Structure 1
Amino acid sequence: MLQLHPEQIAQRLDQLTELSVELGRGAAAGMLHGGDITPLLERIVLVAKDMTGADGGTLYRPSADGRSLEFHISINDSLGLRQGASAGVAIGVPGVALWQDDGAPNLGSVAAYAAHRRVSVNIDDVYQSGDFNFSGMRAFDGHYGYRSTSFLTVPMSDHEGELIGVLQLINAQDRETGLVKAFSATDQRFIEALAAQAAVALTNQLLLRQLEQLLESLVNLINIGIDEKSPYTGRHCQFVPELTMMLADAVHATTHGPMADFQLSENERKQLWLAGLLHDCGKITTPVHVVDKATKLETIYDRIHLVDTRFEVLLRDAEIAALKAQLASPAQADEITLALREQQALLREERDFLRHANIGGEGMSPADQERVRHIAQRRWTGPDGAERDFLDANELENLTIRFGTLTDAERKIINNHISVSIRMLEALPWPKHLQKVPEYAGGHHERMDGKGYPRGLTREQMSVPARLMAIADIFEALTACDRPYKKGKSLSESLRILGHFSLNGHIDPDLFDVFIRSKVYLAFAHKHMQPDQVDAVDEAAIPGYVP
């Protein structure tokens, strides 16, 4: 076999060095763009062909079940064939079986042999070789009028010896005469070196993809835990990232106004999506009776039923007292009965009032709060025979909550979830391309005027993605119809509230403008809101928005 001149060897070393750089960059690019490294694999085949002067090259990849080698890329210059990879032409040739029907390894195919034995196979002339079954190759030659001669088949294994591919070159050509020749021993060594480099790149890419899948699975694991703990929060953790990305894409596509220059890279999109999935991860530590507190008196159970029982005791005691009074003064029986009815009617009215107060809502008037305090001063006798106030201090505090169902202490517990989320996320060793996830996720309760929490950041201190998520988080919470403590608001009312938020420094007015102008709100509403919530919206009437 002819050996290479020193300058040819130097040229091939340069090619290997250049390819090594390409493999590193290509693997990184594949990681950032969904793990697609097919163009990189095609480049490997092309460099191998050029390095050896081969007329054709094929790259096999193991099938998912490990039973066969599948054609991934196939190129032949003389025949003008380019299949698989970027050519977009499917390879209609069946794969090469790695195992026989009886379970024995298939050693009759040169590609399968190289895969099993993990050795290179260099054949000068396949028509003169009796070591392997080349019936498929002969059929190919007959179909295309081609003459296969020299073959070089090199296996590709990862660091653990697992097969990740087989590179096969056909018909080495003399660069001066164009005649087909055998692959030299130097050719083989260079292609083995190239295959080793390619295997490292492929292995690294597969490992990176597996790590990404592990990360995504861990994110889902956290959300499953939150969902099992509180299905209402679980739904929120699914819809907020979706709405965030809808708004992000709309802002990215904006060509006019203050957001016209904003662009979101694929890497930033990935980080924003992960941040959306994890933005409430801290709620996994929040007590369920606080997260899902549907009424003011609810803890593990709704204590309004205890209050009802006390009213029953008062009604009973009033009746017993009336009966005793009638026995003592029969002549006043009618007056006593009338007084009893009035007293019991008042008790039932107070019971119904407390039941209504327990529901919570947008606002409780000072007069209603004072009435609760008045009822609390009633006296009743408990099972232990001791007389006490009708409502204890905790019940009184809860039943006089002005907005919603949470006390100040419980609201602090809820608000603490974002601090916990930030601590959890910042504790993770995020790789460089995901380091913005904690910042994106941690800002959805901040306000543009610096009055938000937990860090009191202002608009200028927040990135656009973090400001995006704040709008998505609020809008989803307003429209959610599955919360135990409130009803889902209509679309028009939600936009009215959000509009006021854009005027009072709560959310970014520029992003709110895109949210309305691009009708992101409507696309989300049609997909996830109840039909009776999606009412007609007069955009001209939305506060803070100018059509």
Structure 2
Amino acid sequence: MLVFAPLSWIGSRQVVNALSVLAADSERLKRMDFSRKPHPPETFLYEVNALGEAQCVMQEAIEQRTRQRDRAQLKLARLVDNGIRLSRQQDRDALLRHILFGAREIANCAAATLYLKTERNTLMLAHRTQEDTLPVAEIPLYDEAGQPNERFLAAHVVLHGESVAIDDVHAETRFDLTGTRSFSEASGFRTVSMLAVPLSPRAGEVSGVIQLLDALDPDTGEAVSFAPDIVGFVDALAAQSAVALENRNLVDAQRELMDALIKLLAGAIDAKSAYTGGHCERVPELALMLARAAEDTTHGPLADFRFRSEDERREFRIGAWLHDCGKVTTPEYVVDKATKLETLYNRIHEIRTRFEVLLRDARIEQLEAVHLRGEDAAWAEARFQACRAQLIEDFAFIATANIGGESMAPEDIERVRRIGARVWLRHFDDRLGLSQDELRRRAAHPAPALPVPEPLLADQPWHAVPRETHSRAYDASHGWKLRIPEKLYDFGEVYNLTITRGTLTDEERFKINEHIMQTILMLESLPLPGNLRRVPEYAGTHHETMIGTGYPRGLSAEQLSVPSRIMAVADIFEALTASDRPYKPMKTLSEAIRILHGFKRRQHIDPAVFDLFLTSGVYLEYARRFLRPEQIDVVDITPYLG
């Protein structure tokens, strides 16, 4: 809010002086004695004439002073009103226009121009009252030698921070006014006087110049010089305007910084995983496209949806950009887990090495049987080849199971366990070279004497990583309705290889789902201003469903706003059509819409938003912008509507 300082502070000494003169005149009039006795008859006629002339002069003086007072009061009222309007103006272009036209009105002049100082130490023409195209040329404040540019009036005013009034433009020799004179000749608008006033938000700083042309006589309308008291009023307005403009620039800079930091964070999340790059950028694009379509619809359940202001639209956009900010807490090897045995690397290589050991053992057994125990060589060779074939077949099965899929049959799960039960002999200490964390998990389990037989696939006690249940993230006060696994991770080999769907264990799936909890916690901990209070809601509800089966809070349809429902559709569709995920092939447009329709039928997404997604053509517009050409196939949307 703009705070008005005393007029003396804002440079309106002339205004105060003018009002003082008016007050003194009023006092003198009050002291005049109109009750004196008449003069003798011989002087009566003379005195009557003299008194009449005096009264006429006095009357004219009083009327003139009254007009001056009224004009001064009007200008003061305009100045106060201007300050209020400046403090309320949110749009920068509208603010510049208001500054300029306010200055022209208070100064009662023919035209006005506004120059703003740039980071390049130049003055740029920002606005003028004439409705024409602004020239792009800039006025340098310093010449090539680094000396102050005193040739131009506007540059002089900025460099010295002082107002300059010119009574006759065509007689002026101090400054180069060629441009003004040329404009006068070309337009037929003959400029007589000029007033240039600095925009100075604080002492020693100048951010621009208001340049006024041709003061107009309030009685005749003719171009005259700018009166000294007018300069005071314009100085006051310029000070108000400079503060308001600086405040607007600071607010805009803060917004730009905040938006840049938001995009920086979203970009860092995408960069963290090579396989989800662009997700945090594409989801806001799709969400905003859908929101615009919802605002344009005039019928159906979404007919009343509108963002009431640009602030509300920005609030939604920020929520969309930050919808996955909690993923900064999710390890990459969980997000990117492409195979069941993958952690920081694919542990299928360890399993393969054990199969190699069993094959070497089988070969050694064959050689010992023939050369040490004298068994039949052909029989020993056949036995070895049978063992070799079985090992190759079993490893191929385990390697295939490691890939993951839509489901895993019970008999396949049993075969994994049966293969895993086969024993191999370990001769080396498996506790050498371990981290302190790994050693702590093995501390309760004494090391056996070597060599020791071990199962080919094992779920060892130290494969389980305990969870810190005292973390504030799991506090019931947050309203979470997610089942929290007892363990943080479980790296058991059989446990992972028998995952029935996909590649994630229950613990890893929770870790990924936990990102939405972290998103909400992170955003709710921020001191967001009132116009951004719904950012945590928009960012944290895209995994909820219409029937309360979503997470993390199990919200129902009545608890989900239209922007939240839009976010859910945008997030799912982007994930379905993304071409950069290692754990699934990219979907064509028709496949993605068919799957999304399944979400609609199961009431996981809002049917009205899904139908709008199709009927508005947003699905196709998004596909043309972000999908690969081979993904875009023909879609008949008719079966999916209603």
TM > 0.5 fold call: yes
Equivalent residue number for residue 26 of structure 2: none
Query: Residues 20 and 197 of structure 1 are in contact (CA less than 8 Å); yes or no, is this contact kept in structure 2?
Result: yes
CA 526–139 in structure 1, closer or farther in 2 if over 3 Å, else same: closer
CA 101–528 in structure 1, closer or farther in 2 if over 3 Å, else same: closer
Query: Residues 568 and 605 of structure 2 are in contact (CA less than 8 Å); yes or no, is this contact kept in structure 1?
Result: yes
CA 134–497 in structure 1, closer or farther in 2 if over 3 Å, else same: closer
1:245 aligns with 2:288: yes
1:52 aligns with 2:95: no
Match of 2:513 among 385, 394, 415: 415
CA 377–159 in structure 1, closer or farther in 2 if over 3 Å, else same: farther
CA 94–389 in structure 1, closer or farther in 2 if over 3 Å, else same: closer
Q: CA deviation at 1:11?
A: 1.0
Amino acid in structure 1 at the alignment position of 2:114: L
Instruction: Give distance in 1, aligned partners of 2:620 and 2:273.
Output: 27
1:181 aligns with 2:181: no
Q: CA deviation at 1:136?
A: 3.1
Q: CA deviation at 1:493?
A: 2.4
Report matched runs for 1:191-202 at 5 Å: 191-202=234-245
CA 510–169 in structure 1, closer or farther in 2 if over 3 Å, else same: same
Query: Residues 117 and 208 of structure 2 are in contact (CA less than 8 Å); yes or no, is this contact kept in structure 1?
Result: yes
Equivalent residue number for residue 7 of structure 1: 70
CA 202–130 in structure 1, closer or farther in 2 if over 3 Å, else same: same
Q: Deviations over 1:491-512 (max 9, x none)?
A: 2222222111112121111111
Q: Deviations over 1:504-547 (max 9, x none)?
A: 121111111111222322222232223333333332444xx33x
Report matched runs for 1:104-503 at 5 Å: 104-159=147-202, 161-265=204-308, 266-327=310-371, 332-384=376-428, 385-393=451-459, 394-503=492-601
Equivalent residue number for residue 531 of structure 1: 629
Q: CA deviation at 1:141?
A: 3.1
Instruction: Give distance in 1, aligned partners of 2:136 and 2:425.
Output: 89
CA 297–400 in structure 1, closer or farther in 2 if over 3 Å, else same: same
Equivalent residue number for residue 33 of structure 1: none
Aligned residues: 524
Q: CA deviation at 1:329?
A: 6.2
Q: Deviations over 1:231-257 (max 9, x none)?
A: 323321111111111211222222232
Instruction: Give distance in 2, aligned partners of 1:11 and 1:18.
Output: 10
Q: Taking structure 1 as the reference length, what is the TM-score of the superposition? A: 0.91
Equivalent residue number for residue 512 of structure 1: 610
Q: Deviations over 1:267-320 (max 9, x none)?
A: 222222211111111111111111111111111110000001111111111121
Q: Deviations over 1:320-359 (max 9, x none)?
A: 1122223356563323322222221111111011111111
Q: Deviations over 1:434-473 (max 9, x none)?
A: 2221111110111111111111111111111111111111
Q: Taking structure 2 as the reference length, what is the TM-score of the superposition? A: 0.78
Equivalent residue number for residue 86 of structure 1: none
Instruction: Give distance in 1, aligned partners of 2:70 and 2:421.
Output: 102
Instruction: Give distance in 2, aligned partners of 1:331 and 1:43.
Output: 106
CA 494–331 in structure 1, closer or farther in 2 if over 3 Å, else same: same
Query: Residues 198 and 206 of structure 2 are in contact (CA less than 8 Å); yes or no, is this contact kept in structure 1?
Result: yes
Of stretches 116-125 and 3-12 in structure 1, the one that deviates more from structure 2 is 3-12
Instruction: Give distance in 2, aligned partners of 1:447 and 1:161.
Output: 59
Three-state SS of the structure 1 residue aligned to 2:277 is helix
Instruction: Give distance in 2, aligned partners of 1:429 and 1:160.
Output: 33
Instruction: Give distance in 1, aligned partners of 2:171 and 2:591.
Output: 83
CA 538–171 in structure 1, closer or farther in 2 if over 3 Å, else same: closer
CA 98–299 in structure 1, closer or farther in 2 if over 3 Å, else same: same
Query: Residues 267 and 281 of structure 2 are in contact (CA less than 8 Å); yes or no, is this contact kept in structure 1?
Result: no
Query: Residues 223 and 234 of structure 1 are in contact (CA less than 8 Å); yes or no, is this contact kept in structure 2?
Result: no
Amino acid in structure 1 at the alignment position of 2:595: I
Equivalent residue number for residue 24 of structure 2: none
Q: CA deviation at 1:421?
A: 0.8
Q: Deviations over 1:89-143 (max 9, x none)?
A: 3134844332223211112322111111111112333344443333333333333
Instruction: Give distance in 2, aligned partners of 1:109 and 1:291.
Output: 62
Query: Residues 372 and 400 of structure 1 are in contact (CA less than 8 Å); yes or no, is this contact kept in structure 2?
Result: yes
Instruction: Give distance in 2, aligned partners of 1:519 and 1:225.
Output: 31
Q: CA deviation at 1:219?
A: 1.1
Q: CA deviation at 1:45?
A: 1.8
- Give RMSD over aligned pairs: 2.1
Pick the structure with greater CA Rg. 2
Amino acid in structure 2 at the alignment position of 1:287: P
Amino acid in structure 2 at the alignment position of 1:183: F
Q: CA deviation at 1:190?
A: 0.8
CA 187–412 in structure 1, closer or farther in 2 if over 3 Å, else same: same
Query: Residues 59 and 74 of structure 1 are in contact (CA less than 8 Å); yes or no, is this contact kept in structure 2?
Result: yes
Instruction: Give distance in 1, aligned partners of 2:575 and 2:203.
Output: 49
CA 541–367 in structure 1, closer or farther in 2 if over 3 Å, else same: farther
Of stretches 518-527 and 121-130 in structure 1, the one that deviates more from structure 2 is 121-130
Identity of aligned residues (%): 45
Gaps of 5+ in 1: 31-36, 76-81, 84-88
Query: Residues 276 and 469 of structure 1 are in contact (CA less than 8 Å); yes or no, is this contact kept in structure 2?
Result: yes
Gaps of 5+ in 2: 1-17, 19-63, 429-450, 460-491
Q: CA deviation at 1:161?
A: 4.3
